[in-house]
Chains A and B, each alone.
Chain A
Amino acid sequence: MEEQIQNLRNQAIARIMALASTEEVEEAKLEYLGRSGKINEVTRQIPSLEPERRSVVGQLINDAREAIEQALIAQITEIKNKTDKNKWFDPTIPGNKPQIGHLHLVTQAIEEISSIFREIGFSRARYPEVEWDWYAFESLNMPHDHPARDEWETFFLDTPENPKLGKMVLTPHTSNGQVREMERVTNPPAGGPPIRMINIAKCYRRQSDVSHVPMFHQFEGLVVDRGISIVHLKGTLDYFARRFFGSERKTRLRPYHFQFTEPSFEVDISCGVCLGRGCKLCKSGWLELGGAGMVHPNVLKAGNIDSTKYSGFAFGWGVERTHMMKSGLKMEDIRTLYSSDLRYLRQF
């Protein structure tokens, strides 16, 4: 019996491999595997065997069936391949594309910026766009009549003033998140600093020309902890610069003045073309990135943080500007960024 099965199997495979057309393969399939095929023929003999041999034979029949099935499949593929060789097909015909969507440049930049800061323990926040004067200016060490306020071309809302918090404004910078974040961590049940915040939000300034959009985005970093120094600020900005702009880039601090930081800095990044040696693009080897500084003790105080125990740093930069500096994107009119023209949007 076993020998008979073995012979059947060998014979079948040998025959199948010699077949030349798919029709012949189909015939062979019927002959061996069909309802009254040869495999079933031997299967039907199983009940007549002694019980202890049945499972062994059954297994053998199954193996044979599988082997024949495989041989059939292999032979069909083989035959097809042979005939396809002579069949013409043009793979240069253009494909049928799915509709391609686009995320806005600003979204892409925000995503990238926040993910880099996440790597070094910053968490993202989004504080109000319509804000009280207190958070936008006063608590940032900018009293009412201060000339420093001139730099922010501020929009005011036509609403009554709040007796404590002052006028309602469209925040001209994300720095309004500084004291708000300090309040968040000092209000119970939160337990106080440390803070590592990155506040990304819309900002507004009363300017519209080729280099200004009245609505834009900033990202504001704020760190408050014990023993925070200028070295940490440099470390954080360098980390960001290397990850965002490329590992060969460096930042540089220069003295500047902001009311809400002391000391205050202007941050430059080494030019991507000449790497700081100086070239036609950058002239001095460096490009201006934005402002930063060590949080002024008056600001910590406004946020209920003890400035004798804690110190911190902050920086607030334009999302659009930072992104354009990275991509080397040159827009003659920055307002183009906010165009809804599909011909622009599809390039992003």
Chain B
Amino acid sequence: MDILIPDSWLKDYLKTTAKPEKIAECLSLCGPSVEKVTPLRQGSVGGKDALYSIEVTTNRVDSAGVYGIAREAAAILPRFKVKAEFLPIKIKNIQRLAQRVEWLDVQVDHNLCLRFSAVLIRDVKLAPSPKLIQERLTAVGVRPINNVVDISNYLMHELGQPVHTFDYDKIGIYDKILGAKMILRSSKKGEKVTTLDGKSHDLPGGDIVIEDSKGRLIDLCGIMGGENSAVDEETHNVLLFVQTYTGKNIRRTSMALAARSEAASLFEKGLDPELVEQTIRRGIDLFVEICKGNPEKEILDLYPSPYEPKIVKTDLNFINERLGIYVSTSQVESYLAPLGFVTSVQGDALNITVPSWRAQDVDIPEDIVEEVARIYGYHNLPSRVMEGQIPDPLPDTPFSFEKKIKEALQSWGGIEVYTFSMVAKDKADLTGSASWVLKLKNPLGADSEYMRLSLAPSLVDAALQNRGESAPFHLFELANVYLPVRANLPEERMIAAGIFANTEFAQAKGTLEALFEILKSKVILTTQDGKGFAPHHRIAIRAGREELGQFGKLQLSGHWYWEIDIEALRKVSSITHSFKPLPKYPPQVEDLSLVILPRVHLGEVIEAIYKSDSQVMSVELKDSYENTRTLRVSYQNPDKTLTDREVEVIRNKVLKILEKKFGVKLKT
């Protein structure tokens, strides 16, 4: 949480001559982070001032107020050779703490409220607050209302303890003999309360509430007071109320009702019950001074299980090992003392008593390490990479394979995109009607509600986004798809996919073929129709029986699209290079112009030529014209140069097979 603190207010509890900028710098390095310091121009009272914006982490609710920050500063500044002294709060009143008082009869569920305190202040004179208080509250972003309300806010910002004030005369029917009555209890589901901002709430149940003798709910504890018991212009008698509520309940209520008050965000982090007495006494002083009120002689204080000092045991070795340097016990002691820790030393063993305001946050030796280290100054520690043994690398990771794919595609002009994993329902895969897709419970919108099963729809969108481009382009992506698994996490399958726009078939397919060539992938391409692809325009990429991917023309958008399962491809690819000696005898090369009948796949023809004789070394498409395909065929024998006569024998064999199998003839 972020808090604002005027420098002049801080100096009420911190004696130092340091400039605000210096204080900010030192605090940020060793304690709460001061995000900025802004100059404050105030009226006559405050004079020149500065405002700190401070980020207080969730574990350090003890420093969510002026007083707590002063304590931190007093511990930190001397480490920067800046003189500083913490000035503890001065209390004037000497009211007695009592478990029963005649002006208030309460019943408290202590599972909800660790400590319950209240004091009745009679005859308060409602008026505007003194200028200083008004200025300070304005500076921290609180609008001054009147002295009673302002005191509550002032106390919270000063000490980090929320307080509440009731109009005593509005609580139930005030009974001269019995006094007022209150029951602090857990709410039932459906109970209603209207808070003093006029909002009415239907309670979810389990909220901390106070019921008065008339059975009305008069407080939504820790969040906001009830409208029916609020202080107003007519108020004479104020009930000052300071409690430690159970953080969990406050948090649940404030989340459920979306009522995120400052008080709630303090309570939910777990406040120090010891802070209650300090706050109520400081409150009494302010009410006497500012409102001319008459406090009762006793403070009602119900605190059945008081704080017992907590001791963390550790030793010097442990601290030094974690720090990575040597500090002495006396150094440890001197860093901890101003923070309120008491260190007792027995040899190297340290028994450290934790102050009540840090009991929530300091439990284990590591917490002590943090205190010592930050006050010593992280910036003062040396910096060194660990020596130690280098762990074995993870076996068989896919990263270099993926990198190779990306770099190959890029080098052939491919442009890599990253599209979102969450898509609209009809974009989960190419069919647009997948039946089993992982769905988000709380999506940002319907267009990102499902975890995609395919990259295709996202890549189509990406291509369409660039409709204005007339030049060919190839967009590709490597990303996971999420295949649901019953009662388990989905299978996250890494897919490489790409889409070609303004691109000829041969160009698109050639890119894929080149990819398989450089990856040395043993894959087979076969024609096979499939969903989402135009008829006769799809090729299945297979290894044995397993289909690893597909390539083809998308039915809807007309783009050439490919996708492939990277892990499966990696299994049939090879990164090692094999070496074959160069042939000793030159090949014989000739072009064959073949007339191909409709419905004959050239791929199968080429395949048949390869298979017809082991001396056929390569077959490449040289030229295409109408129904004629010119293939460049090379023949080679490892043991001799083939004669024209020998080539003729092979050629005739090839042509015979082609004619028989496909009706393919040499063009005449």
Taking Cβ atoms with an 8 Å cutoff, the residues of A that contact B are 98-104, 106-107, 111, 114, 120-121, 123-126, 128-132, 145, 147-148, 155-160, 162, 168, 170, 184-185, 193-196, 202, 204, 206, 208, 214-215, 223, 225-232, 234-239, 252-257, 262-266, 284, 294, 296-297, 311, 337-338, 340-342, 345-346
Chain A residues contacting B60 (CB-CB under 8 Å) are: 257
8 pairs across A/B with beta carbons < 8 Å?
A101-B412, A123-B391, A156-B440, A194-B388, A230-B381, A231-B381, A262-B369, A340-B466
Decide if B277 is an interface residue (CB 8 Å cutoff).
no
Q: A231-B383, A255-B374 are in contact. Are A145 and B252 (CB under 8 A)?
A: yes
Interface residues in B461-509 (C-beta closer than 8 Å to A): 461-462, 465-466, 469, 472-475, 479-480, 482, 487, 489-490, 492
Bound together, the chains give a CA A213 to CA B515 distance in angstroms of 32
Closest to B443 in A: A155
Bound together, the chains give a CA A226 to CA B466 distance in angstroms of 54
Closest to A148 in B: B58
Chain B residues contacting A156 (CB-CB under 8 Å) are: 440-442
Whether the Cβ atoms of B366 and A99 lie closer than 8 Å is no
Say which residue of B269, B322, B469 sits within 8 Å of A229 (CB atoms). B322
Q: A101-B415, A230-B373, A297-B364 are in contact. Are A341 and B442 (CB under 8 A)?
A: no
Q: A155-B440, A225-B386 are in contact. Are A311 and B391 (CB under 8 A)?
A: no
B47-74 vs A, CB cutoff 8 Å, 1 = contact: the mask equals 0000000000111100000000000000
Q: For the complex of A and B, list the 10 residue pairs with the smallest distance between their C-beta atoms, beginning with the closest.
A: A231-B324, A99-B413, A229-B324, A263-B370, A257-B57, A340-B462, A101-B410, A121-B390, A253-B378, A234-B383
Whether the Cβ atoms of B381 and A120 lie closer than 8 Å is no
Decide if B348 is an interface residue (CB 8 Å cutoff).
no
Chain B residues contacting A106 (CB-CB under 8 Å) are: 418
Whether the Cβ atoms of B421 and A129 lie closer than 8 Å is yes
Q: A101-B409, A297-B364 are in contact. Are A124 and B386 (CB under 8 A)?
A: no
Which of A124, A162, A262: most chain B CB closer than 10 A?
Answer: A262
Whether the Cβ atoms of B321 and A255 lie closer than 8 Å is no
Whether the Cβ atoms of B439 and A158 lie closer than 8 Å is yes
Q: A101-B409, A107-B406, A263-B366 are in contact. Are A252 and B378 (CB under 8 A)?
A: yes
Bound together, the chains give a CA A168 to CA B486 distance in angstroms of 12
Bound together, the chains give a CA A338 to CA B373 distance in angstroms of 41
Say which residue of B29, B321, B385 sits within 8 Å of A311 (CB atoms). B321
Interface residues in B370-415 (C-beta closer than 8 Å to A): 370, 373-374, 378-379, 381-386, 388-391, 393-394, 397, 399, 403, 406-407, 409-415
Q: A147-B269, A225-B388 are in contact. List 15 more A-B contacts (CB 8 A).
A: A101-B414, A102-B410, A123-B391, A124-B394, A124-B399, A147-B247, A156-B441, A168-B489, A208-B444, A214-B422, A230-B324, A230-B373, A231-B323, A254-B378, A263-B373
Chain A residues contacting B413 (CB-CB under 8 Å) are: 98-101
Chain A residues contacting B422 (CB-CB under 8 Å) are: 155, 204, 214-215
Q: How many residues of B contact A (CB 8 A)?
A: 87
Whether the Cβ atoms of B480 and A345 lie closer than 8 Å is no
Whether the Cβ atoms of B390 and A196 lie closer than 8 Å is yes
Chain A residues contacting B439 (CB-CB under 8 Å) are: 157-158
Q: A129-B492, A297-B366 are in contact. Are A235 and B385 (CB under 8 A)?
A: yes
Chain B residues contacting A237 (CB-CB under 8 Å) are: 383
Whether the Cβ atoms of A128 and B384 lie closer than 8 Å is no
Whether the Cβ atoms of A123 and B382 lie closer than 8 Å is no
How far apart are B186's CB and chain A's nearest CB, in angstroms? 16
Which of B252, B378, B490: most chain A CB closer than 10 A?
Answer: B378
How far apart are B319's CB and chain A's nearest CB, in angstroms? 10
How far apart are A130's CB and chain B's nearest CB, in angstroms? 5
Q: A125-B394, A254-B33, A342-B473 are in contact. Are A114 and B399 (CB under 8 A)?
A: yes
Whether the Cβ atoms of A130 and B418 lie closer than 8 Å is no
Bound together, the chains give a CA A249 to CA B386 distance in angstroms of 20
Chain B residues contacting A158 (CB-CB under 8 Å) are: 438-441
Chain B residues contacting A111 (CB-CB under 8 Å) are: 403
Bound together, the chains give a CA A157 to CA B419 distance in angstroms of 20
Chain A residues contacting B409 (CB-CB under 8 Å) are: 101
Chain B residues contacting A204 (CB-CB under 8 Å) are: 421-422
Bound together, the chains give a CA A101 to CA B412 distance in angstroms of 6
How far apart are A278's CB and chain B's nearest CB, in angstroms? 10
Chain B residues contacting A170 (CB-CB under 8 Å) are: 440
Chain B residues contacting A230 (CB-CB under 8 Å) are: 322-324, 373, 378, 381
How far apart are A24's CB and chain B's nearest CB, in angstroms? 34
Q: A130-B492, A215-B420, A234-B381 are in contact. Are A228 and B386 (CB under 8 A)?
A: yes
Decide if B212 is an interface residue (CB 8 Å cutoff).
no
Chain A residues contacting B389 (CB-CB under 8 Å) are: 194, 225
Chain A residues contacting B358 (CB-CB under 8 Å) are: none
Q: A130-B490, A206-B444, A215-B420 are in contact. Are A234 and B407 (CB under 8 A)?
A: no
Closest to A262 in B: B366
How far apart are A306's CB and chain B's nearest CB, in angstroms? 14
Which of A229, A234, A264: most chain B CB closer than 10 A?
Answer: A229
How far apart are B31's CB and chain A's nearest CB, in angstroms? 6
Chain B residues contacting A284 (CB-CB under 8 Å) are: 25
Q: A100-B413, A194-B391 are in contact. Are A145 and B364 (CB under 8 A)?
A: no
Whether the Cβ atoms of A102 and B489 lie closer than 8 Å is no
Say which residue of A232, A236, A254 sits within 8 Å of B29 (CB atoms). A254
Whether the Cβ atoms of B412 and A263 lie closer than 8 Å is no
Bound together, the chains give a CA A129 to CA B481 distance in angstroms of 10
Bound together, the chains give a CA A341 to CA B461 distance in angstroms of 10
Bound together, the chains give a CA A151 to CA B13 distance in angstroms of 32
Whether the Cβ atoms of A130 and B438 lie closer than 8 Å is yes
Decide if B30 is an interface residue (CB 8 Å cutoff).
yes
Q: A229-B321, A262-B367, A311-B321 are in contact. Are A257 and B33 (CB under 8 A)?
A: no
Bound together, the chains give a CA A194 to CA B388 distance in angstroms of 8
Whether the Cβ atoms of B440 and A345 lie closer than 8 Å is no
Chain B residues contacting A168 (CB-CB under 8 Å) are: 489
Decide if B521 is an interface residue (CB 8 Å cutoff).
no
Decide if B446 is an interface residue (CB 8 Å cutoff).
no
Q: A147-B268, A232-B324 are in contact. Are A342 and B415 (CB under 8 A)?
A: yes
Say which residue of A131, A185, A235 sits within 8 Å of B386 (CB atoms). A235
Bound together, the chains give a CA A226 to CA B387 distance in angstroms of 11
Bound together, the chains give a CA A226 to CA B451 distance in angstroms of 41
Whether the Cβ atoms of B384 and A227 lie closer than 8 Å is no
Chain A residues contacting B475 (CB-CB under 8 Å) are: 340
Say which residue of B252, B322, B403, B417 sits within 8 Å of A294 (CB atoms). B322
How far apart are A261's CB and chain B's nearest CB, in angstroms? 9
Decide if B169 is an interface residue (CB 8 Å cutoff).
no
